[in-house]
Structure 1
Amino acid sequence: MTESGRDHPPKTPNYRGAQFLTSAAKLNQCPPDEGWEVAFAGRSNAGKSSAINSLTTNNKLAKTSKTPGRTQLINFFTLSESQRLVDLPGYGFAKVPLKVKQEWTRQLENYLQKRECLRGLIVLMDIRHPLQPFDQQMLDWTQSANMPVHILLTKADKLKRGAASATLLKVRSALEPLGERASVQLFSALKHTGHEELTATLDKWLTG
């Protein structure tokens, strides 16, 4: 991509036009490090793939599995020639050997630390179990890297409105030390709610 291309970001992404691009096991297998990229990260059972499918209205775009931790590749989806969404391996990696966990933790850190086109991180947390140790580790990394982060409290349909709102306020309060670079919202892939707030954040990161 030319420098002039970097100076003139593309228009608002068309999420419904998202297409699978490629999968990568290591950083050097990723697409060229140019353009604008937003990554989705979360625990193995947080619902990353379901959120991406809900956002793009394509239930077959990101592969979902009834067995958490099956997705162990970095999956890239194009929105345009220079805009991408990225589905990162679920951290926690349920039911995989320790050596596999350690290797994927290393590859995940490589991607997060060295991928220059990464503009922001969407961290997904099950609203019933937010701010787990792995989640906090991810938030600490975003702070050290000066990377903006937006949290989706997924499966919000599992709680009544009052309980969901209370959890939202609790997490928002916990994020205060991170300042303006951290935000949080409710989201339900099942009910397809929370899209407007999510796309507002993605639009800002992918066009600026």
Structure 2
Amino acid sequence: MKVNQVSLTISAVAESQYPATGYPEVAFVGRSNVGKSSLLNRLIDRKSLARTSSVPGKTQTLNFYNVEEELYFVDVPGYGYAKVSKSDRAKFAAMIEAYLTSRKQLRGVVQLVDARHEPSADDVSMYQYLKYFHLPVLVVATKIDKTSRAKQNAVIKMVKKGLDLNQTDHLVLFSATTGEGKDAVWQWLEATAEIGGEK
């Protein structure tokens, strides 16, 4: 999809603040500093609309980006940042669970993992959580430009094995630097949200 119009509608902490337009939504989840903002900015052809927090792990809002009046990208704050207190983590987890389990407009989830490392325990827990609630998942292995092409098959095997990837879910290798994988991510987004080309 060619994106001409995109805007941050709201940074929400409660269901009462979620947009009421009824557009389909896709959530983006991943560990802190995995490259989520870079992926979002690449997808919408912007350099800095999606911003990282100056203090990783401190942003605890669901950021709803209106894309072309057709779809919402829901930016979920990064998980796995050690300096967040247990009480804050509990509040954050409750907010995320409420959204993921009750939001009717949610069509699927893009989970980011770092292509340079095996999926972490937090990555595995998040994937299992999403599967427990039967949510369609696209796994995006970021920073693939930092690995050699000769190792890409090994990366694919490592991620699939580490997450025990369901056969119905897809894996895309992505680079925010080169744009590799962008079209494949959009194909999944359009098919899952039933927008754009073929419904």
Q: TM-score normalized by structure 2?
A: 0.89
Q: In structure 1, list runs of 5 or more residues that go unmatched.
A: 1-12
1:150 maps to which residue? 138
Alignment of 1:7-156 (within 5 A): 14-32=2-20, 34-65=22-53, 67-156=55-144
| Kept in 1: contact 2:32–2:79 (CA 8 A) | yes
Instruction: Give CA-to-partner distance per residue, 1:156-201, whole Å, 9 cap, x none.
Output: 1111112233111232345666221x11111011222211110100
Task: Provide the rounded CA distance (Å) in 2 between the counterparts of 1:198 and 1:147.
Answer: 17
Q: C-alpha displacement at 1:94, in angstroms?
A: 4.1
Task: Provide the rounded CA distance (Å) in 2 between the counterparts of 1:138 and 1:15.
Answer: 29
Secondary structure, aligned partner of 2:101: helix
1:9 maps to which residue? none
In the alignment, is residue 199 of structure 1 matched against residue 175 of structure 2?
no
Secondary structure, aligned partner of 1:192: coil
| Kept in 1: contact 2:31–2:80 (CA 8 A) | yes
Task: Provide the rounded CA distance (Å) in 2 between the counterparts of 1:186 and 1:16.
Answer: 25
Change (3 A) 1:137 1:184: same
In the alignment, is residue 189 of structure 1 matched against residue 176 of structure 2?
yes
Instruction: Give CA-to-partner distance per residue, 1:66-122, whole Å, 9 cap, x none.
Output: 643243211011113341111001112342222111110111111111111100100
Secondary structure, aligned partner of 2:9: strand
Change (3 A) 1:186 1:66: farther
Q: TM-score normalized by structure 1?
A: 0.85
| Kept in 2: contact 1:91–1:105 (CA 8 A) | no
2:154 maps to which residue? 166
Secondary structure, aligned partner of 1:178: coil
Higher helix share: 1
| Kept in 2: contact 1:79–1:85 (CA 8 A) | yes
AA aligned to 2:96 is L
Task: Provide the rounded CA distance (Å) in 2 between the counterparts of 1:51 and 1:31.
Answer: 23
Task: Provide the rounded CA distance (Å) in 2 between the counterparts of 1:166 and 1:67.
Answer: 33
Residue-pair matches, total: 195
Range that drifts further, 148-157 or 130-139 = 130-139
Change (3 A) 1:98 1:173: closer
| Kept in 2: contact 1:76–1:86 (CA 8 A) | yes
Percent identical among aligned pairs is 34
| Kept in 1: contact 2:123–2:163 (CA 8 A) | no
